[in-house]
Amino acid sequence: VYMGMGEPMLNYDAVMTSIEIIAHDRSLHISPRHSTVSTAGYANRIRQMADEGRRAKLALSLHSLVESKRTALMPITKKFGVEELVDSLDYYFRKTRQRPTIEYIPFEGYNDTTADATRLIALARRVPCKVNLIPYHSIAFTHPAGFAATLRPASPSRIAAFAERLRSGGVTVMVRSSAGEDINAACGQLAVKHRSPRMQSASRQRKSVPAA
């Protein structure tokens, strides 16, 4: 999965070349169909994947179908709006006949309501897709400020209820398993609580280096 290492679509040519190399019979010989490219929402590249007949799977970090809410979560929405993004998914499916995966982090009271489920059901009816619900791991120990400080993870029971609403609407749903949260080592929790004297010294040294 090309995910968590920067936006793959901003390094499109290299990513696609690497998929071809991995698939070569003198390399790992792993079919492109076993590779997934996850994007924050570059609609132009989604269309390009379709036009080029790329066999790698596509995943989209969606998180909301409400323009204002997705913009707050995913600033890329300012460049590629929700409707343009949905249009690109529709185009992708029609050209490739491959179902994209929708990645969706439910935040309590923000994007996990009945109305949000209804919107996802409507999307899945227009564009056959799978929805992957991803639990949000709290970063309260990093003392987030502003909008980030207002987000709360949906409880397991709320996620289960949200998933059931989607399934009742005919949507294929997966709920990602989680591990490591008890020691702040789960997905998205890479941070340092306390800096050692050595780290503090290194930080001061970096700040003291004059700009070029």
CA distance 139 to 133: 18
Stretch 110-125: mean pLDDT: 99
Q: pLDDT category, 107, cuts 50, 70, 90?
A: very high
CA distance 88 to 44: 8
CATH-assigned architecture of domain 8-208: Alpha-Beta Barrel (3.20)
- Which H helix or E strand runs over 101? strand 101-104
Taking alpha carbons only, the member of 156, 78, 70, 165 closest to residue 122 is 165
Q: Per-residue pLDDT tens for 77-102? A: 999 999 999 999 999 999 999 999 99
Q: Per-residue pLDDT tens for 50-72? A: 999 999 999 999 999 999 999 99
Stretch 40-55: mean pLDDT: 98
Domain ranges of the chain: 8-208
Q: pLDDT category, 197, cuts 50, 70, 90?
A: low
Contacts with 106 (C-beta within 8 Å, 6 or more apart), sequence order: 112, 133, 135, 136, 153, 154, 158, 159, 162
Name the token pair of 120: 């996802």
CA distance 63 to 40: 10
174 DSSP 8-state letter: E
Name the token pair of 63: 């998180």
Contacts with 128 (C-beta within 8 Å, 6 or more apart), sequence order: 93, 99
pTM of the model: 0.83
Question: CA dist 12 to 81, 118, 129, 130, 168, Å?
Answer: 20, 33, 23, 23, 37
pLDDT of residue 205: 59
Residue 6 one-letter amino acid: G
